[in-house]
């Protein structure tokens, strides 16, 4: 940002960079500093406000008429800067446009659709785990490449009806889009380079007439047309699913694998009762939120917990910090699949809450359930590597040893 606004009087200043490699590697000290600084803090590096406590994050998410999305949910204010791609009709929109797009999306992407695909998603997960043990009853794998990424990539593209070729573009494209919410740092530059090469394939897959007939993409396009959206809008609506639907679930499953491996008593509880798979995945999204942060833009002067926020301000919501706010959670830093994790804001809250969460949960439940029924022991046998991203938190690699039940 070229013109960083001056620090407002009376607001605690936290002079740290949330998007530095150091902070992204270990964000928890910053999360605590922000929560303890006050209900709202000021980040002078970027000239933006920050909320990291549960109540204030929920307040901002809830008051979508004041804290708007249409001016972008990254650092950039779309009223001042040109978006890097045509804005999302869901994520980067406000009512009534958002309401219409969301209605079209949920007319296809809903619990009924999830029930129809559940068996197939579960079968694929079961087969994937069985195949790992084809070599023997103890195997060493990269938990990311061979499970966390392999599973979503084996169910999601077919569900959408994507071309058989070019699917390797999905992850780099998502990586780019999530980095683009942050500042133009080295992560942003690198992601734009690799993601930029993936973009033409993504755009092509979204064109009306391209997704396989009968699959989600084609049905979404039909519903979009029925609702009066033009072909560009129909394509852009499908683009949301291709952008937000893969990296996120890969990171969610990767985080679950790592936490279950690191907490043998939690793994034992899951093995004992595999119906806990869904709860285990939800606790993972609370504990290590794949989407760590989102911005909103203050669209009219307002006040949050006694702090005045002027129109035009950007405000950074630390979803991951809210998910561990001791004001709201008991033992927030404890990974506990038996806790009541519902109410976490890892999928957001309110009108913009994740449309895809029903599929994320289905994928998490199916894969963790398949593992719980087939694997006796899961161990981390090497140093996991993080994949740094301005918005996402997740593992790049996760060396695991699995022992068959």
Binding site for ligand OVM (CB under 6 A): 88, 90-91, 177-178, 239-240, 243-244
In the complex, the smallest distance separating the C-beta of residue 83 from ligand OVM, rounded to whole angstroms, is: 11
Cβ closest to ligand OVM, residue 88 vs residue 113: 88
In the complex, the smallest distance separating the C-beta of residue 389 from ligand OVM, rounded to whole angstroms, is: 10
Cβ contacts of 242 within 8 Å, gap of 6 or more: 160, 162, 170, 173, 174, 202, 205, 206
In the complex, the smallest distance separating the C-beta of residue 192 from ligand OVM, rounded to whole angstroms, is: 13
Cβ closest to ligand OVM, residue 124 vs residue 297: 297
Block residue for tokens 């993936």: 198
Please give the structure tokens belonging to residue 298.
């203050």
Closest CA to 143 of 378, 389, 335: 378
SS3 content of the chain, % helix, strand, coil (to 5): 50, 15, 40
In the complex, the smallest distance separating the C-beta of residue 275 from ligand OVM, rounded to whole angstroms, is: 29
What HEC string does 144-173 produce? HHHHHCHHHHHHHHHHHCCCCCCHHHHHHH
Other beta carbons within 10 angstroms of residue 216's beta carbon come to 22
Cβ closest to ligand OVM, residue 178 vs residue 188: 178
Cβ closest to ligand OVM, residue 38 vs residue 195: 195
Cβ closest to ligand OVM, residue 143 vs residue 245: 245
How far is Cα 402 from Cα 283, in angstroms, rounded to an integer? 22
Cβ closest to ligand OVM, residue 35 vs residue 352: 352
In the complex, the smallest distance separating the C-beta of residue 239 from ligand OVM, rounded to whole angstroms, is: 6
In the complex, the smallest distance separating the C-beta of residue 297 from ligand OVM, rounded to whole angstroms, is: 16
Closest CA to 169 of 242, 87, 83: 242
Residue 70: phi, psi to the nearest 5? -65, -15
In the complex, the smallest distance separating the C-beta of residue 244 from ligand OVM, rounded to whole angstroms, is: 3
In the complex, the smallest distance separating the C-beta of residue 177 from ligand OVM, rounded to whole angstroms, is: 3
In the complex, the smallest distance separating the C-beta of residue 402 from ligand OVM, rounded to whole angstroms, is: 31
Please give the structure tokens belonging to residue 141.
């794998």
- Angle, CA 222 vertex, CA 216 and CA 226 arms, to 5°: 140
Cβ closest to ligand OVM, residue 177 vs residue 360: 177
Angle between helices 231-244 and 150-160 (to 10 degrees): 160
How far is Cα 7 from Cα 256, in angstroms, rounded to an integer? 39
Please compute Rg for the chain using Cα positions.
Answer: 21
How far is Cα 64 from Cα 58, in angstroms, rounded to an integer? 11
How far is Cα 87 from Cα 103, in angstroms, rounded to an integer? 18
Please give the structure tokens belonging to residue 327.
């004001």
């Amino acid at each position: 940002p070229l013109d960083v606004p001056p620090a407002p009087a009376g607001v605690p200043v936290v002079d740290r960079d949330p998007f530095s490699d150091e902070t992204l590697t270990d964000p928890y000290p910053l999360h605590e500093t922000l929560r303890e600084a006050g209900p709202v803090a000021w980040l002078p590096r970027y000239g933006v406000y920050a909320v990291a406590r549960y109540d204030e994050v929920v307040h901002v998410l809830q008051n979508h008429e004041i804290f708007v999305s249409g001016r972008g949910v990254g650092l950039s204010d779309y009223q001042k800067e040109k978006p890097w791609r045509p804005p999302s009709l869901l994520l980067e929109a406000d009512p009534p446009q958002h309401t219409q797009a969301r209605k079209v999306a949920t007319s296809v992407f809903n619990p009924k659709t999830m029930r129809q695909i559940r068996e197939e998603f579960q079968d694929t997960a079961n087969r994937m785990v069985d195949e790992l043990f084809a070599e023997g009853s103890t195997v060493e794998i990269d938990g990311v490449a061979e499970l966390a990424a392999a599973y979503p990539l084996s169910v999601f593209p077919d569900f959408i009806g994507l071309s058989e070729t070019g699917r390797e573009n999905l992850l780099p494209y998502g990586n780019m889009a999530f980095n683009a919410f942050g500042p133009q740092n080295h992560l942003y530059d690198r992601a734009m380079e690799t993601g930029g090469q993936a973009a033409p394939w993504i755009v092509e897959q979204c064109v009306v007439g391209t997704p396989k007939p009968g699959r989600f993409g084609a049905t979404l396009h039909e519903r979009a047309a029925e609702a009066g959206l033009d072909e560009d809008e129909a394509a852009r609506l499908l683009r949301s699913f291709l952008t937000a639907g893969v990296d996120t679930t890969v990171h969610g499953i990767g985080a679950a694998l790592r936490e279950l491996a690191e907490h043998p008593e939690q793994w034992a509880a899951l093995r004992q009762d595999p119906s806990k798979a869904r709860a285990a995945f939800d606790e993972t999204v609370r504990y290590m939120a794949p989407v760590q942060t989102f911005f909103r833009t203050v669209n009219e002067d307002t006040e949050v917990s006694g702090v005045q926020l002027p129109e035009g301000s950007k405000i950074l919501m630390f979803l991951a910090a809210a998910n561990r706010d001791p004001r709201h959670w008991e033992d927030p830093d404890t990974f506990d699949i038996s806790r009541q994790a519902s109410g976490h804001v890892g999928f957001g809250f309110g009108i913009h809450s994740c449309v895809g969460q029903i599929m994320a949960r289905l994928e998490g439940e199916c894969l963790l359930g398949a593992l719980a029924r087939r694997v006796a022991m899961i161990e981390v046998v090497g140093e996991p590597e993080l994949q740094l991203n301005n918005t996402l938190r997740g593992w790049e690699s996760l060396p695991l040893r699995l022992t068959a039940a």
